[in-house]
Amino acid sequence: MKFLSIQSSVAYGHVGNSAAVFPLQRLGHEVWPVATVVFSNHTGYGAWRGPLLPPGDVADVITGIEERGVLGQIDGVLSGYQGSAEIADVILDAVARVRAANPRASYTCDPVMGNADSGCFVHPDIPPVLRARVVPEADVITPNQFELGFLTGTEPQTLEEILASADLALEMGPRTVLVTSVQRPDRPDGTIEMLAVNADGAWIVQTPRLPLKANGSGDVTSALFTAHLLATDAPTALARTAASVFALLDVTARSGERELRLVEAQDAFVDPPTSFEVNRVR
Ligand SMILES: Nc1ncnc2c1ncn2[C@@H]1O[C@H](COP(=O)(O)OP(=O)(O)OP(=O)(O)O)[C@@H](O)[C@H]1O
Ligand SMILES: [Mg+2]
């Protein structure tokens, strides 16, 4: 498959395209990465250098691809952190152009806004744009539990509440919702879950919770789920994604490094060592 992935790029470490591209390639997919920023490292270090690309320049790169006459080959568009409403417009325009060339192309939006620990960490302009304009255009969204609530004006905690919020998200337009980092109050200690919901059902997978918070794991999760979903179905994509991301984080945690060990864990994208049961919950 071929993916157009419009995300941040960092030289050191792995977030945005610098997290999402290699796992897709390791699975045998072509990826056309378009950078929205070119930073030295992710902003979690507190200091970084390099440019935020002007939205017009990002749009220009996409126009250049269009001028090669190849947009119709794209199976999926991926987007991650959107730094401004203007970048959101560029992404929406790219999605429209890809769909004009290939109506079957899928768009996955990771509606990055925050998490349960930090709250909302993006500019206040971003959530309204995601809610009103971006999410309605997406085929797949991959919010974490906090973002699912923030998108839908809810604060889901229990499985039932998360399913109800996911239904509200489906009503906004997407056909599939992947809820990441689900941490229900009644889950077994030391576990973390992921939930996939579509019109046909809802499926949950539980893994051990590892002692780390690695930047970029959400970007890998969103990319892998998108590729597997296009090739299979929601429960299979959920199982494969959970197994590969768990293996990647396990290798990373054992290394003691702060950055994802993508290269070291590469075989786990194709053939993860441990699989986890996927349970149908609706
Ligand atoms: N500490 C952890 N232990 C095990 N799995 C984890 C852990 N952290 C993340 N994951 C896995 O990675 C997936 C993506 O989570 P991640 O926290 O990277 O992205 P997120 O849910 O978007 O949160 P954030 O936006 O804060 O990065 C989770 O659904 C989970 O499967
Ligand atoms: Mg995320």
What amino acid occupies position 96?
A
**What's the Cα-to-Cα distance from 53 to each of 8, 108, 197, 236, 239, rounded to whole Å?**
10, 22, 35, 37, 36
Pocket test for ligand 1, best of 177, 221, 251, 262 (most atoms within 8 A of CB): 221
Helices H, strands E: what count in the chain?
9, 11
- Domain total in the chain: 1
Protein residue closest via CA to atom 6 of ligand 1: 209
Residue type, 140: V
**Per-residue pLDDT tens digits of the chain, which is 282 residues long:** 999 999 999 999 999 999 999 999 999 999 999 999 999 999 999 999 999 999 999 999 999 999 999 999 999 999 999 999 999 999 999 999 999 999 999 999 999 999 999 999 999 999 999 999 999 999 999 999 999 999 999 999 999 999 999 999 999 999 999 999 999 999 999 999 999 999 999 999 999 999 999 999 999 999 999 999 999 999 999 999 999 999 999 999 999 999 999 999 999 999 999 999 999 999
Contact status, residue 6 vs residue 97, Cβ threshold 8 Å: no
Tell me the best of 115, 180, 191 to mutate to test the pocket of ligand 1, counting ligand atoms within 8 Å of each CB and taking the most.
Answer: 180
Give the structural domain span for 174.
Answer: 2-280
CATH number at residue 255: 3.40.1190.20
115 lines ligand 1 (CB under 6 A): yes
Q: Which residue's CA is minimally distant from atom 19 of ligand 1?
A: 218
- For the whole model, what pTM was predicted? 0.98
Picking from 31, 32, 48, the residue whose alpha carbon sits closest to that of residue 40 is: 48
